[in-house]
Amino acid sequence: MARLLGDRELESSSVVANRDMNRERGLAGYGRELGVDVAGVVRPGARWLDLCCGSGAALVECARVVPGVSITGVDLVDFYAGPAVGGVEFVTASVGEWEPDGAFDLITCVHGLHYVGDKLGLLTRVASWLTGGGLFVANFDWRTVHTGHGRLTGVLREAGFVYDARRRRISLTGRRDVSLPLRYLGADDRAGPNYTGQPGVDSHYVRV
Ligand SMILES: C[S@@+](CC[C@H](N)C(=O)[O-])C[C@H]1O[C@@H](n2cnc3c(N)ncnc32)[C@H](O)[C@@H]1O
């Protein structure tokens, strides 16, 4: 069994603090990575939450293109694109602990789950943060989640998630109360480079 880290150790690990990761994607980059035209999906008055938002460049761009949209970006590091734009709020916090004050029409996580310890715990919480018709979409590679019991995709499908193995994307439409039969054990920051070429974090679980 790999040496497993808790959240505090993980968040100060050199893998999570890696300066070479791309934190500055704009809306076009978000569209390519998620397969979703964010500015086309969010309407004035809608709420968009971006987890692991990096510099938040895409959020600032979206606020300029879609006035009246309300956007929240959460990241461990306060390295945000400035100057601040109306409708955009940046929160410096770990997505493992942060809790929102309401529901969102769109929730995204662009190449952020690769660095999160309890990936399934976050997916479970995110499912409850959507509006009834809200959309969640994120880059995700199921092979970075170890359960000791083979493929995870069936468990996620049963919970309502859609997994695109070729594009390594996970999505969910509409709020759900999700309970997965897995208990989180800890994270391995020595997993090595993932499909993005950057070192990532593997997450370990046991069936319950
Ligand atoms: C590859 S960058 C992607 C940034 C942005 N989504 C983009 O595409 O430009 C991953 C981001 O995840 C953030 N991150 C990693 N672990 C996190 C955690 N537990 N909570 C919040 N942010 C986290 C990092 O600080 C980094 O900004």
Number of domains in the chain: 1
Residue of 36, 49, 62, 75 to mutate, ligand 1, most atoms within 8 A of C-beta = 75
- Counting from 1 in the atom list of ligand 1, the atom nearest the Cα of 109 is 6
Q: Is residue 13 part of a domain?
A: no
Q: Is residue 114 part of a domain?
A: yes
Q: Give CA–CA dist 195/101, Å, rounded.
A: 34
| CATH code for the domain in which residue 103 is found | 3.40.50.150
Q: In which domain, by residue range, is 130 found?
A: 26-207
Q: What is the pLDDT at residue 33?
A: 98
In tens, the pLDDT along 53-71 reads: 999 999 999 999 999 999 9
Three-state SS letters, 133-179: EEEEEEECCHHHEECCCCCCHHHHHHCCCEEECCCCEEEEECCCCCC
In tens, the pLDDT along 77-101 reads: 999 987 778 899 999 999 999 999 9
Residue of 52, 53, 99, 114 to mutate, ligand 1, most atoms within 8 A of C-beta = 52
56 CA from centroid of ligand 1 (Å): 10
Report whether pLDDT(124) > 70.
yes
Q: What is the pLDDT at residue 148?
A: 84
Q: What is the mean pLDDT of residues 181-188?
A: 96
pLDDT band, very low/low/confident/very high, at 52 (cuts 50, 70, 90): very high
Q: What is the pLDDT at residue 1?
A: 66
Query: What is the overall mean pLDDT for the chain?
Result: 95
In tens, the pLDDT along 21-32 reads: 899 999 999 999
Q: Kindly report whether the global pTM for this prediction surpasses the value 0.95.
A: yes
Q: Is residue 16 part of a domain?
A: no
Q: Is residue 18 part of a domain?
A: no
Q: Is residue 38 part of a domain?
A: yes
Q: Is residue 10 part of a domain?
A: no
Q: Is residue 5 part of a domain?
A: no
- Counting from 1 in the atom list of ligand 1, the atom nearest the Cα of 110 is 6
- Counting from 1 in the atom list of ligand 1, the atom nearest the Cα of 57 is 9
- Of the chain, the percentage scoring pLDDT greater than 90 comes to 89
Q: Give exposure, 89-106, as e/b (b: 16+ Cβ within 10 Å).
A: ebeeebbbeeebeeebbb
Nearest protein Cα to ligand 1, atom 20: 94
Nearest CA to 93 among 162, 202, 7, 4?
A: 7
Nearest CA to 167 among 145, 192, 141, 144?
A: 141
30 CA from centroid of ligand 1 (Å): 13
74 CA from centroid of ligand 1 (Å): 8
108 CA from centroid of ligand 1 (Å): 12
Q: Give CA–CA dist 38/54, Å, rounded.
A: 16
pLDDT band, very low/low/confident/very high, at 151 (cuts 50, 70, 90): confident
Q: Is residue 173 part of a domain?
A: yes
